[in-house]
A and B are shown apart, each in its own frame.
Chain A
Amino acid sequence: MAHKRRMTAKRRRFYDSSIFVILSIVSVFAILVLVAVAAFLLINSIPAFTQVNQWGFFTGTVWDPTNPIEPLYGMVPLLVSTLIVTFVSALIAIPIGLGATIYLAEIAHPKIRKVMKPAVEVLAGIPSVVLGFFALTVFAKFMWEAFAPAWRPSDYLNLFNGAVFLAIMMVPIMVSLSEDAVNSVPRSLKEASMALGMTRWETVWKVIIPAARPGIVAAVMLSIGRAVGETMVVVMATGSSPQLTFDPFSSGQPITSTIAIEMGEVAANTPHYYVLFELGLVLFAITFALNYVADWAMRRHTERYQ
C-alpha cells in the first residue's frame, strides 16, 4: 500500500514535470516565432535603408514605385489612408461597440445575453474576404446610388466603404472583450451603488464603466489594432489608388493593401521589394504599440481588485 502510494506520487511528479516541460516548449516556440517574424522583417528591410532615400520614404507624398524614370517611395499617402480608414472605422465602431456592451452586460435579460454573447463572437469569425466581397458588390453600389443625384462619393470604391466593413469586424471583438471587463466588475460594487438609491443608469455610468474603463480601453485598442492590420477588406473595398487624399469618400490605398498588392508583382531583391518590407516594419511598429498600450491598460485593470 505504502509502496503503491509512493509509485503514484512519483508518477504524478512525472506528469507534472512533463506538462511543465511541454508548456515551456510551446511558449518558447510562440516567442521564437514572434522574434523570427520581427527579425525577418528587419533583415529584409535593411537594404532599403541604404538603397532608398529614407527621408523621401517617411516624408514623400507620392507613392509611385513603378515609375520607369524615377520610382518614388513616399509612404505618406499610404499612412494617411491607413489612418483615415482606422479613424473612421473607430468612429463608427466605438459607439456601437460600447452601446452593445452596456446593453448586453447591464440591460439585456439573462436569457437574451446567453444567446447574444456567442452570436457576437461568431460574428467575429466571419472571414474578412466575405465582408470585402460584400463591400465591393453591395455596399459600394448602395453608397453610389443612395443619395444620387444630390450626392455621390468622390470615387465608387472609397476609404469610407472599407472603414464601414472594418467597423463591422471591430464591433464583435470590442463587445466580446469589453463585456468581459464590465462583467468582471464585482457585483458588490453595483449593489453598493443601487443600495444608495442610484438608478441603474447612474450606477452604470458612475460606477461600472469607470471601474471597467481600463478593460474597455484595452478592448478598443485591440480592435483598432485589428483595423490597422486588416488587409483583405481594404484591398477589396477602398479602390487601391495610392494617392494622397484626406477625403474619406475618395479611393486610397492603406499600407496593408500596398504590401498585399505589390508584393506579388515586384522582382525580388530590388529596392521596391525591400521597401515593401520596410512598410511591413512600420505596420508592425504601429500594431505593436497599440497592443502594448492595450496590455498595459489591462494589467492595471487586474491589479486593481487584488
Chain B
Amino acid sequence: MSESIFVKDLNVWFDKNHALKDVNITIPKNEITAIIGPSGCGKSTFIRCINRMNDLVTKCKVTGEVKVDGQDIYDKDVDVVEVRKNIGMVFQKPNPFPKSIFENIAYAPRIHGKDEDKSLRGTKVSKYSKKELSDLVERSLRRAALWGEVKDRMEKSAYELSGGQQQRLCIARALAVDPQVILFDEPCSALDPIATAKIEDLLVDLKKDYTVVIVTHNMQQAARVADKTAFFYLGELIEFSETKKIFESPGEKLTEQYITGRMG
C-alpha cells in the first residue's frame, strides 16, 4: 500500500495560538482516513494544511513538511493552484455557488482548461468544447450519485436543491477538476441521517479512485467508513491506527476517554 500524504513535524500558529504541534502522520492512498477529536483540537486546521487553505488566513504560520504524492506542497517552487487542483475539499456546510447546477460543476474546469500544460492556462488552446464540458459535468454528477436527481434541471439554481443534494453537488464540483485527494471537513454535520447515509456510501465508493480524508464528530461515522482513524487532542496527534483498533483497543488513555465519551 502506497502513501499519499506524508506529514512531518507540522506546526501551525494563529498569531500566538499554537494550533498544531509536531504532527507526524502518513496517510495511505485509496483509503479513508478519519480525523476525530474534541472541538478546537485542530482537525480543520490540519486538513486545511493539506491543500494550503490556511494560506488565506493572514495571521497563520505553518512550518514542517507536507508531501502529497512525493511532492512538498510548501516548497517555494510549487504552484498553489496546482496543489489545490490536485486536492479537492468539501466543507462543513454545503456551499454551492449562486449559479445554476450546471455552472457549479463547469465553473472550475472551464477556467482551468483541459490541458495539463499549465503554460496554456486561460488561453483558448486548452479550452473544453461545449460537448466535452457537458460530458464532464455529467460524469462528475454521476460519480457523486446525483445525476438522476438533477439531470432534468441543470439550468436551475443550485439553491433549489436540498442540503444533502447540495453537498453531493459540492462533491461533484470537487471531482470535476480531477483531484487525487479529497478532504472532507464534517461533510454531514448539516444533514439528516438519510442524506448522511448517502454521502457515506459515496465516500466508500470514492476511495477506489481517490484518497479520502474526513473530519468527523460522529464516532459511528468514523467507525462505519474509515479504514484508519487519527485522534487529535489539543493540537497534538495522539494516536493513529486502524479504525478497528482505535475503537476497540485504543493504545492511549486519552483516546479511550474520548471514544467512550468520558472526556471532561
Q: Of A110, A192, A197, A199, which is within 8 A of B97 by CB?
A: A192
Residues 185 to 211 of chain A near chain B (Cβ within 8 Å): 186, 188-189, 191-199, 202, 206-207, 210-211
* A to B CB contacts below 8 Å, 5 in the list: A192-B95, A193-B108, A195-B88, A195-B174, A197-B81
Whether B177 contacts A197 by the Cβ 8 Å rule is: yes
User: Scoring B residues 76 to 105 as 1 if CB is less than 8 Å from chain A, else 0, what string do you get?
Assistant: 000001111100110101011111000000
Whether B97 contacts A191 by the Cβ 8 Å rule is: no
Assess whether A109 is interfacial by the CB under 8 Å rule: yes
Inter-chain contacts of B216 with A (CB < 8 A): none
Whether A110 contacts B58 by the Cβ 8 Å rule is: yes
Cβ of A115 to closest chain B Cβ, rounded Å: 16
Residues 211 to 234 of chain B near chain A (Cβ within 8 Å): none
**Interface SS of chain B:** helix
Whether B84 contacts A195 by the Cβ 8 Å rule is: yes
Cβ of B136 to closest chain A Cβ, rounded Å: 14
Given contacts A191-B53, A191-B56, contact A197 B84 (CB under 8 A): yes
Cβ of A75 to closest chain B Cβ, rounded Å: 43
User: Scoring A residues 246 to 283 as 1 if CB is less than 8 Å from chain B, else 0, what string do you get?
Assistant: 00000000000000000000000000000000000000
Cβ of A210 to closest chain B Cβ, rounded Å: 7
Whether B107 contacts A206 by the Cβ 8 Å rule is: yes
Q: Of A109, A188, A191, A202, which is within 8 A of B111 by CB?
A: A202
Assess whether B43 is interfacial by the CB under 8 Å rule: no
User: Scoring A residues 114 to 148 as 1 if CB is less than 8 Å from chain B, else 0, what string do you get?
Assistant: 00000000000000000000000000000000000
Inter-chain contacts of B174 with A (CB < 8 A): 195-196
Residues 148 to 202 of chain B near chain A (Cβ within 8 Å): 159, 170, 173-174, 177
Inter-chain contacts of A198 with B (CB < 8 A): 81, 108, 111
Whether B97 contacts A189 by the Cβ 8 Å rule is: yes
Assess whether B29 is interfacial by the CB under 8 Å rule: no
Whether A191 contacts B173 by the Cβ 8 Å rule is: no
User: Closest residue of chain B to A211, judged by CB?
Assistant: B98
User: Closest residue of chain B to A200, judged by CB?
Assistant: B56
Q: Footprint of B on A, CB under 8 Å?
A: 109-110, 186, 188-189, 191-199, 202, 206-207, 210-211, 304-305
Given contacts A109-B58, A197-B84, A197-B85, contact A192 B91 (CB under 8 A): yes
User: Closest residue of chain A to B86, judged by CB?
Assistant: A197
Interface hub of A110, A188, A192 (most chain B Cβ within 10 A): A192
Inter-chain contacts of A210 with B (CB < 8 A): 98-99
Whether B53 contacts A194 by the Cβ 8 Å rule is: yes
Assess whether B51 is interfacial by the CB under 8 Å rule: yes
Given contacts A109-B58, A192-B170, contact A197 B112 (CB under 8 A): yes
| A202 CA / B82 CA spacing, docked (Å) | 14
Closest 5 CB pairs of A and B: A197-B85, A188-B95, A196-B108, A197-B84, A195-B89
Whether A186 contacts B84 by the Cβ 8 Å rule is: no
Inter-chain contacts of A186 with B (CB < 8 A): 95
Inter-chain contacts of A193 with B (CB < 8 A): 97, 107-108
Whether A196 contacts B107 by the Cβ 8 Å rule is: yes
Inter-chain contacts of B96 with A (CB < 8 A): 192
Whether B93 contacts A195 by the Cβ 8 Å rule is: no
User: Scoring B residues 46 to 90 as 1 if CB is less than 8 Å from chain A, else 0, what string do you get?
Assistant: 000001010010100000000000000000000001111100110
| A193 CA / B81 CA spacing, docked (Å) | 11
User: Closest residue of chain A to B159, judged by CB?
Assistant: A304
Inter-chain contacts of A199 with B (CB < 8 A): 81
Cβ of A10 to closest chain B Cβ, rounded Å: 41
| A199 CA / B82 CA spacing, docked (Å) | 10
Interface hub of B81, B88, B89, B111 (most chain A Cβ within 10 A): B111
Instruction: Contacts A191-B95, A197-B85 known; list 18 others, CB within 8 Å.
Output: A188-B91, A189-B95, A191-B53, A192-B95, A192-B170, A192-B173, A195-B51, A195-B89, A195-B91, A195-B174, A196-B88, A196-B107, A197-B81, A197-B82, A202-B111, A206-B111, A304-B159, A305-B98
| A103 CA / B55 CA spacing, docked (Å) | 19
| A304 CA / B160 CA spacing, docked (Å) | 11
| A192 CA / B58 CA spacing, docked (Å) | 18
Inter-chain contacts of B51 with A (CB < 8 A): 195
| A194 CA / B99 CA spacing, docked (Å) | 16
Inter-chain contacts of B107 with A (CB < 8 A): 193, 196, 206-207
Cβ of A245 to closest chain B Cβ, rounded Å: 44
Inter-chain contacts of B53 with A (CB < 8 A): 191, 194-195
Cβ of B254 to closest chain A Cβ, rounded Å: 31
Inter-chain contacts of B88 with A (CB < 8 A): 195-196
Inter-chain contacts of A202 with B (CB < 8 A): 111
User: Closest residue of chain B to A306, judged by CB?
Assistant: B159
